[in-house]
Amino acid sequence: MATFLIPILILCPLAASLITFVSAGRMDARGIGMVACAGVGISAVISIILSVMLLSGPVTGVLQVTLWPWMHMPGFSADIAFMLDRVSMLMILVVTVVGLLIHIYAASYMYHDPGIARFFACMTLFVAAMLVLVLASDLLCLFIGWEGVGLCSYLLIGFWYDDPANTVAARKAFYMTRMGDVALLCGLLLLVTATGGSLRIGTVLAAVANGQLAPSGINMAALFILVAALAKSAQIPFQTWLPDAMAGPTPTSALIHAATMVTAGVYLIARLHDLFAMAVPVMALTAVLGALTLLMGACTALVQSDLKRILAWSTISQLGYMFLALGCGVWQAALFHLMTHAFFKALLFLTAGAIIMRAHHEQDIFRLGGLRHTMPGLTAAFVAGASSLAGLPLVTAGFYSKEMILSGVWSAHFNLTHGWTLSGPPLWGMALLGAFLTALYIFRCVFIVFCGKAGTGAAGRTSRLMSIPLGCLCILSLCGGVIEMPDTLLPLHLFSGLLDPTAVLSHTHQPAWLVMAGAGAPLAGLGVAWVLWGRSSPVMREIPGQAPVICPVRTGRGMDALYHYAFVQPFCLLAWLTRLDILNHAVTGTGLLIQTASARIFRARADFLGRLAIQATRMIRWAGHLLGLLHNGRVRWYAAWIAGGLCAGLAMAVLS
């Protein structure tokens, strides 16, 4: 049954993609939307069936399907093979269910766009690629999905290709992630060499556990994979592509650049957590980079003025949380946060899309304002998402997942080489500060957009097709978190028990004030935001804009400019300089040189030989003139010459 269902699960969106692509211009927008939603919907149903099958089986059971051998040869074998275990079950549920909701929303959102067929072709293709990524049991097979989602992301960011800025953003996203892909490829090569020819995840992890890899090899492999994950998930130092990626349509931002694709890096590391557990320095690096990214993302989001960019930086920051959790070894917490983040960030993006659509495509939060009067429903949805993002205690899903991460970080400890150690509490402090900042920036956004005096007028109303997904996501992002709670509140560990029943996380030895602090930070952030921006007479409506410190941060261009001058410009310049191929010049130049030189030499020689040649020529011409007299063109004369010559010849031959 499973061998049949898993391929169908992937084929459904793929078929929808093909149908929508081929039918471009022949099917109306309604039909295309229905085909796409049907494709993703069927796979959502199948993934629920599969989850039920998996959970009803034994605790450590997995469903395996090997479709066909991909490359088999001495020293290497790879298969097109899929595996459904509890981690990938979580992922397919997130991908298909959130994906379905976003598709339903998009069917209405993109209804009037002429390129709707291309849009849905790419979106469904993305879902298929993402499913390949999360289901693959062979790392090389995973790589198909890994690159496939990158390609779909590129196509969708540059969806409105009429504006060159969009296609530039699309290419930037692809190039940045491509660097990570190359690193992943190198990591795979290293692993396959070490394991003796297989990239099956089980084989790789077993080889690592058996000590087939030297510690340095493990560290290198983990580092390569970490770089890949950092690039895909837009962490430091690759974070610059994600804010630009907001050039795509909003459903794309919700699905690809918030809920699923950018979390692929988190998934990959969680999938290989046994490998990472052996590479302590890389784990520490992951944690530190995650902590730095979450602070940087939050700070940058605090000074943005573009609604979608605020959400993009917030995504980077939240992904930082997940990387922090991964680095501290609590990958269950990372996946839990991945799930809740998918809910609330998709909700925020979709709501933002609906707001922007109704506010005449105005994305600047300072020109919006007072929207709670004109769009109360959207306000409620956005506030629900924002509370979940901020992690307001008890009532939101974000609170529980963030709490799980915080408690995991607190008890982390890294034994680095040469007696260096890194312990959890400093990282925990950074994460807590990040939680405060998160609440601050998202409620700043809420207060500016929904309170105060009215800005741009609103038009139309949100269609029902768009409201239904918003409602579902509201419920999920508020209540999706109660399946896992801190011990202080209630010893409920459904989620971590679901993921890994053999090793349920327990935080029994932690003081209660940790939870208090984790709950207090968002509330403090909310309070400060209220004081600064929310009251009827806000302390400041706008951050002093043109301060030199703020400016590069606000545009988020600091790193961009650095990369631009450090890498892009030199590359372009060098490429431009050599575009005509220096080697070509070299060869052509040599030819030219030889030609010139021989011409020179010839001219020099002409002085010596010239006179001789001229004399010779004159004599030859004179002789030729004489001979030419014989050459009068009359046939009879020629015949006479022949006859005479013949006679003379014969006479000589006979007489001699």
Measured from the CB atom, is 186 or 380 closer to other proteins?
186
Report CA-CA distances (Å) from 563 to 240, 328, 566: 9, 30, 5
Q: State the DSSP code for 541.
A: S
- Within positions 507 to 546, which residues make up the interface with other proteins, using CB under 8 A? none
Contact flag: residue 182 with other proteins (CB under 8 A): yes
Residue 265 Cβ vs other proteins, minimum distance, rounded to whole Å: 17
Pick out residues in 596-655 that bind other proteins (CB under 8 A): 627-636, 639-640, 643
Q: How far is CA 411 from CA 191, 280, 414, 505, in A?
A: 31, 15, 10, 12
Does residue number 21 form part of the binding site for other proteins (CB under 8 A)? yes
Residues 123-152 that bind other proteins (CB under 8 A): 140, 143-144, 146-148, 151
Q: Is the dihedral of CA 379, 381, 384, 385 positive or negative?
A: negative
Instruction: Write down the least CB distance from residue 145 to other proteins, Å.
Output: 9
Peptide bond into 114 cis (omega under 30): no
Residues 576-595 that bind other proteins (CB under 8 A): 576, 578-579, 581, 583-584, 587-588
Q: How far is the CB of 232 from other proteins (least distance, A)?
A: 14
Which residues, 68 to 87, sit near other proteins by CB under 8 A? Answer: 68-76, 80
Which residue, 85 or 181, is less far from other proteins as judged by CB? 181
Nearer to other proteins, 50 or 155 (CB): 155
Which value, to the nearest 10 degrees, does the dihedral of the CA atoms of residues 141, 145, 147, 149 take?
180
Q: Which of 281, 300, 590 is nearest to 414 (CA)?
A: 281
Residues in contact with other proteins, total (CB under 8 A)? 65
| Number of neighbouring beta carbons within 10 Å of residue 654 | 7
Token pair of 51, please?
A: 């989850």
Q: Nearest approach, Cβ of 170 to other proteins (angstroms)?
A: 7
Q: Which two tokens stand for residue 573?
A: 């310049």
567 binds other proteins (CB under 8 A): no
Neighbours of 477 (CB within 10 A): 28
Binding mask 148-177 for other proteins (x = CB under 8 A): x--x--x---x--xxxx--x--xx--xx--
E runs forming strands in 310-464: 413-415, 421-423
Site string for other proteins, 191-220 (x = CB under 8 A): -xx---------------------------
Smallest gap from Cβ 182 to other proteins, in A, equals 5
Q: Does 3 bind other proteins (CB under 8 A)?
A: no
Beta bridge partners of 84: 63
- What residues have CB less than 8 Å from 109, skipping those under 6 apart? 249, 250, 251, 353, 354, 357, 466
User: Burial code of 67-106, b = ≥16 C-beta within 10 A, e = fewer?
Assistant: eeeeeeeeeebbbbbbbbbbbbbbbbbbbbbbbbbbbbbb
Q: How far is the CB of 144 from other proteins (least distance, A)?
A: 4
Interacting residue ranges for other proteins, rule: CB under 8 A:
21, 24-25, 68-76, 80, 140, 143-144, 146-148, 151, 154, 158, 161-164, 167, 170-171, 174-175, 178-179, 181-182, 185-186, 189-190, 192-193, 571, 574-576, 578-579, 581, 583-584, 587-588, 627-636, 639-640, 643
